């Protein structure tokens, strides 16, 4: 399968079409998500009559057309997939990664959660667990308030990765067992150093941390890998999460796996799972 027929990005990355890279600042993230993507989703939600599910908002957000196919990746190989099967592919990966950890947890926290769609998918399997989300976009928080107004166990509140404290974790009892996860959220930080510094103060309540993120350190020597590395650089996405985790003596990495699902094959979801090392 040839990626250029599915995406304009190979031509951009090779300099065959005009495109200008921009630094990934908080202002840029707000413009891209809060004022654009989530503003459109909120308008869509308010226009609907009757109950709207998070899945329907997600389908609108991704502009899913059930009659069309798309190009995805898995373990470095490209595949053609019917667009309406994407949600199932992502949900399967989400549950395979997190279900066993959530089973033993008291609460689940998702940072950079948007309107909490991944948490909602997990909540379908764990209806008695509490899910708390933190998100920078005010429009996304407003969407979540509407979607989960009848379910007090799923909430989303304002939280910025650059804050000195994370309010969703501040709410969690120190003796609780918390599973924290992120999904394509750390990628918005060119460096994850600030996140790792802030999260350290919550080690007493974290039983596991899961990153469903782009891990640029996996990109090596194939043409697809080189395009992925260039894509990360051009978009100023995160490029140091795994290497900074590996330098920490107070962290134990329990799983690292590459390209589980790439709904954008140049920006695939890889998995890192770690936990704080307990001191005597």
Q: Where do the structural domains in the chain lie, given as residue ranges?
A: 22-276
Q: What is the pTM of this model?
A: 0.94
Q: What is the pLDDT of residue 12?
A: 87
Q: What is the pLDDT of residue 138?
A: 98
Q: What is the pLDDT of residue 221?
A: 73
Joined tokens for residue 237 = 């996405």
DSSP secondary structure letters along 94-153:
HHHHHHHHHHT-SEEEEES-TTTHHHHHHHHH-TTSEEEEEES-HHHHHHHHHHTTT-TT
pLDDT by residue, tens only, the chain of 280 residues:
578 888 888 888 888 888 777 789 989 999 999 999 999 999 999 999 888 999 999 999 999 999 999 999 999 899 999 999 999 999 999 999 999 999 999 999 999 999 999 999 999 999 999 999 999 999 999 999 999 999 999 999 999 999 999 999 999 988 899 999 999 999 999 999 999 999 999 999 999 999 999 997 776 678 888 899 999 999 999 999 999 999 999 999 999 999 999 999 999 999 999 999 976 5
Q: What is the pLDDT of residue 16?
A: 83
Pick the CATH number of 22-276 from 3.40.50.150, 3.40.630.30, 1.25.40.10, 2.60.40.10: 3.40.50.150
Q: ∠ at Cα 264 (100, 68), nearest 5°? A: 105
Are 135 and 141 in contact, with CB atoms under 8 Å apart? Answer: yes
């Amino acid at each position: 399968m040839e990626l250029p027929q599915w995406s304009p990005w190979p031509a951009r990355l090779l300099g065959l079409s005009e495109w200008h890279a921009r630094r990934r600042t908080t202002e840029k993230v707000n413009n891209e998500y809060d004022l654009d993507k989530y503003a459109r989703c909120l308008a869509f939600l308010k226009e609907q009559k009757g109950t709207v599910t998070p899945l329907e908002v997600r389908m609108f957000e991704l502009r899913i057309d059930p009659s069309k196919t798309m190009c995805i990746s898995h373990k470095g190989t490209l595949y053609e997939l019917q667009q309406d099967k994407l949600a199932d592919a992502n949900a399967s990966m989400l549950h395979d990664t997190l279900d066993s950890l959530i089973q033993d947890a008291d609460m689940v926290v998702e940072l950079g959660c948007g309107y909490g769609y991944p948490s909602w998918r997990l909540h379908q399997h764990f209806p008695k667990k509490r899910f708390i989300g933190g998100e920078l976009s005010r429009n996304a928080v407003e969407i979540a308030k509407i979607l989960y107004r009848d379910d007090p166990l799923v909430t989303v509140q304002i939280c910025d990765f650059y804050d000195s404290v994370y309010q969703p974790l501040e709410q969690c009892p120190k003796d609780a067992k918390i599973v924290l996860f992120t999904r394509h959220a750390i990628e918005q930080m060119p460096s994850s150093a600030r996140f790792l510094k802030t999260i350290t103060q919550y080690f007493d309540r974290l039983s596991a941390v899961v990153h469903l993120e782009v891990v640029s350190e996996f990109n090596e020597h194939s043409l697809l890998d080189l395009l992925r590395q260039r894509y990360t650089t051009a978009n100023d996405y995160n490029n140091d999460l795994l290497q900074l985790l590996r330098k920490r003596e107070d962290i134990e990495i329990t799983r690292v796996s590459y390209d589980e699902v790439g709904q954008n094959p140049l920006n695939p979801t890889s998995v890192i799972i770690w936990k704080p090392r307990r001191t005597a």
